[in-house]
Structure 1
Amino acid sequence: MATAPAHVAHAPLEGAARVWGTVALSAATFMNVLDSSIANVSLPAISGDLGVSTTQGTWVITSFAVANAIAVPLTGFMTQRFGQVRLFVLSIVLFMLTSLMCGLAPNMTTLILFRAMQGFVAGPMIPLSQTLLLASYPKAKAGLAMAMWAMTTLVAPVMGPLLGGWITDNISWPWIFYINLPVGFVAAAITWGTYRNRDSATYKVPIDAIGLGLLVLWVGSLQLMLDKGKELDWFHSSTIVTLAVIAVVAFAFFLIWELTEEHPVVDLSLFKRRNFWTGAFATAVAYGLFFGNVVIMPLWLQQWMGYTATDAGMITAPVGLLAIVFSPIVGLTVAKVDPRRYTTFSFLVFALVLFMRSRFSTQADFWTLMIPTIIQGVAMAFFFIPLVTITLSGLTPDRIPAASGLSNFLRITAGAMGTSIATTVWEDRAALHHAQLAEAVVNGNTAASSAMAGLANSGFSAEQVLGQINRLVDQQAFMLAANDLFYASAVLFIMLIPLVWLARPVKGGAGAGDAAAGAH
């Protein structure tokens, strides 16, 4: 990147201005993070309303995530062009506009298009909210500023499923997008009023258009391949083969171009640093595993366990409770404790939670389903801050925005891919279990025979009896498939631990202060 003009350091905000500034920045972040989780529990309703399968419905989540991932590395370039404050407020206004368009979408194709646009314009919001917040507080209070910011990003995933479920059950799903309008308006107005005289210097820097084009091409092709694979029978389809070839070729060209370009859209030289690549990959894979399981849980509860969107939201929401309690402690102690230890602890707790879920049965009650979610909050608290500390350790301040952008790009892309892979594996395993269970439902099987006789005596016709039995077989098959997925994810979390220990020890918490600035 070209060297920026001399940076004008503004004095920290004081009193009421700082309070209002913090509220506005937090509200914008809250709205952004809320939108990445609010649609999860509403998927069955959206899919049903727009007449598509829930597998196609997951595009509502993945299109947002992929576009968001592509926009994040561009934040540095766009900040230099427009200035931090102008870009941040523009991002909020465009986010409100695309939210309105999502709510008004008449069919699934337009909804996916508008969600992609919404994800793209949301890209600069999170990195810039951190930058502006840190500039609002004196250096000594940077830890406090980031702890408050982290609270917002942890409360939003709790509120997302609850709000999404309640709105879907009581109003209608478009309102999960419309609620962004009042929040966005307040956030944009206060931010502009408080920060407009504190904007960063702007200068024209060349855009790496070819690098950006190749980035969109390979990420888009790869995600499309993962999303459509199940539907088109994977590599038996010429479309999937074509997408795979495009993704591989575009990725190869992207690597060559970015390593030789003077102003690359993504600074790949960061991968020369051991702590950067170990931290960034551990974060990406763990987040992909976590997010894939987060999407499967409400789908399973609503489709096969008879839960309403509100109840599914209540089971998935408490993940933030213990995270809110433990995050400030982690933030304050990460400089004193080896962050690799904290990350190892986090992965072990994630593995424990997923192992508990792999023991679920169709008889599992509300509390059995909820307890692992509550415990997962502990893993969340020890996940982000230590991994960001490892990833950004030893970097000079001028490289932190690029490193933060690149690691966030990897994390968000992994989340989108995790969603596609998890839903595909879940359905494949369910088909396998269905076939195995159906073999057992033969007349010689006493349990099956007595169940059929019982249903026939209740006045069901022969077709209705088979329909009921098939529904039970389906329910068991999807439950066993979910168990397989949870168990495999638990094993993968344990296998990730050695990767974290490849990182060099972070000396005296070096980078911890800067790490806070690049968290999430």
Structure 2
Amino acid sequence: METGFRKWIIVVTIITSTIIELIDTTIVNVSINTMSGNLGASLEDTAWVITSYAIANVIVIPMTSFLAEKIGRKQYYIGSILLFTLASAMCGFSHNLWELVAFRFFQGIGGGALLSTSQSILFETFPVKERATASGIFSLGIIIGPSIGPVMGGYIVDNLSWQWIFYVNIPIGLLAALLSYIYLKPTKRSQDGRRIDWLGIFLLTIGVGSLQVVLERGETDDWFAAGYIIALSIISALSLAVLIWWELKIEHPVINLRVLKSTTLSISAIMTFVLGFGLFSAVFVFPLYAQRIIGYSAFQTGTMLLPGTLMAAMISPFLGKMLQSGIRPQYLIITGFGLSAVFGFMMSGSNLETGGAYFFIPLICRGLGAALLIVPLTALAVSELKPSDIPQGAALNNMMRQMGGSFGIALINTYIAQRSAANRTALIAHVTASDPLTIMRRQSYVNNFMAHGATYLRALQASLGALENTVVRQTFLLSYMDAFLLLAILNACCIPLVIMTIKKRVAVKAGKVEIPDAH
């Protein structure tokens, strides 16, 4: 526990490290086209730049507690920052795609370690009675990072080269490592002489890594139509099943699944998974919709996300104070899911004529909803754990959020593709040579092209292309509307789940959230 200047310099360092790690989960998305052209690779292959980072993140997050104990938390934290920073530099220096993919994997290993270790350090920096405030502060990084990634990425791609997406991490990472070295308390490595759980590490790597590849690449390769997707799905299921059995059997596991005996942590983990699903899916779907349908640039799209993000950042510390003062977390969680549902319902009501002003309110709801979910769920997850179990509980909770995001993006992407096929079939059923509206629309196109100097035959041919473009645009519009509606329904369905799973009164004593029973 720290006080005064030292306490707040640690807070700034921790939040900075969290933000740069989460920025890198989304900052690359807007530069895939540019990377693909510069590196002479297909878009499908270039997507591995995103996939490799996500795989490394999810593999290393649940191991952070074990590794920090073995290496010493301060040493492990600083080493992770330096690995993240060095890998960022090497990503920028890469000469071909597969070099970049490899260095992104190492960047993900360093970054994933930062997420859970940062949370543990922050909780121990604050006294128990201020742990809810610490959760509010930690949530700043979770909210801000993924949301400003597209803004930064769009600006950098428009004004510099794609390499600067990685170079910007270098001075920030070096400063964070220096401040951590100066201000974090030294920690000793575990000297109990227990054996390293190599089998657990192997099973975790294979199981989670295979699952992540399936989620990231499934839609691209038509899911179970691809043999490697089937093989990896089987490998993942078997590995994770054996992992659970093994980790519960041995005395010193790499992942202490026994902390899930805490009902509060188990419930929070489920809700955090849903939170990750909605949080990352919304950040994935909205930029695609804004750029492909409305015609905004990457930078304009990112800028539209900023007001909601800033609003969420402003209220997060106060939400921690509210929890300490006795506000029941269920109220915040239900409100958060409600606002997230409002975002989806409002977005599903937009159309091709919708202006930028319309998106302001739903995006504010998205930001506020995320804050109202992250803060109480983060606090609840570790509220009943012993201090020695907090790092493992935080790691598992963070893994569930990242896994929820991976599942969300994969399923939403698949849903959009399926709805696109269905919506196109429904639309073209009305676009026939005998349909009066189609005849009128085609004739207006012909007249417009002829007015600009085209011959009748060329104008007629161009009108067919224009009709096709209209159908394609309307198809994608309807598909994205369906995706927003699905997100709204999922969030709305979580509200009764909160009420059903957390029945008993939540007592808040001395700033510590305690749930006596929850079934």
TM-score by length of structure 1 reads 0.88
The farther-off stretch of 445-454 and 416-425 is 445-454
1:483-505 per-position Cα deviation (integer Å, ceiling 9, x unaligned): 11110111111112233231354
1:197-246 per-position Cα deviation (integer Å, ceiling 9, x unaligned): 63345435432221221122222222222333333333233222222222
Partner of 2:517: none
Cα distance, 1:226–1:22 mapped onto 2, change above 3 Å: closer
| Structure 1 residue 182 displacement after superposition | 0.8
Counterparts of residues 312-391 of structure 1 (less than 5 Å): 312-335=301-324, 336-391=326-381
| Structure 1 residue 332 displacement after superposition | 0.8
CA distance in 1, matches of 2:45, 2:284: 13
8 Å Cα contact 1:441-1:448 kept in structure 2: no
8 Å Cα contact 1:357-1:483 kept in structure 2: yes
The counterpart of 1:199, out of the listed 180, 187, 191, is 187
8 Å Cα contact 1:343-1:383 kept in structure 2: yes
Secondary structure of the corresponding residue to residue 221 of structure 2: coil
Counterparts of residues 69-468 of structure 1 (less than 5 Å): 69-136=58-125, 146-195=135-184, 198-203=186-191, 204-335=193-324, 336-444=326-434, 445-457=438-450, 458-459=452-453, 461=458, 462-468=460-466
Cα distance, 1:125–1:212 mapped onto 2, change above 3 Å: same
Cα distance, 1:372–1:122 mapped onto 2, change above 3 Å: same
Paired letter, 1:486: F
Cα distance, 1:358–1:46 mapped onto 2, change above 3 Å: farther
CA distance in 2, matches of 1:90, 1:27: 16
8 Å Cα contact 1:28-1:187 kept in structure 2: yes
8 Å Cα contact 2:139-2:371 kept in structure 1: no
The farther-off stretch of 470-479 and 484-493 is 470-479
| Structure 1 residue 134 displacement after superposition | 4.5
The counterpart of 2:481, out of the listed 473, 480, 483, is 483
Partner of 2:507: 508
| Structure 1 residue 273 displacement after superposition | 3.5
1:314-372 per-position Cα deviation (integer Å, ceiling 9, x unaligned): 12233312212321221111241221221111101100101111112122211223331
Partner of 2:496: 498
The farther-off stretch of 298-307 and 490-499 is 298-307
8 Å Cα contact 2:36-2:42 kept in structure 1: yes
8 Å Cα contact 1:278-1:499 kept in structure 2: no
Cα distance, 1:256–1:141 mapped onto 2, change above 3 Å: closer
Cα distance, 1:276–1:137 mapped onto 2, change above 3 Å: closer
Paired letter, 1:82: I
| Structure 1 residue 147 displacement after superposition | 4.2
Secondary structure of the corresponding residue to residue 440 of structure 1: coil
| Structure 1 residue 73 displacement after superposition | 1.5
Aligned residue pairs total: 503
The counterpart of 2:17, out of the listed 23, 28, 37, is 28
Secondary structure of the corresponding residue to residue 509 of structure 1: strand
CA distance in 2, matches of 1:92, 1:506: 41
Give the % identical residues.
31
CA distance in 1, matches of 2:137, 2:395: 21
The farther-off stretch of 243-252 and 375-384 is 243-252
CA distance in 1, matches of 2:89, 2:384: 43
Paired letter, 2:404: A
| Structure 1 residue 87 displacement after superposition | 1.1
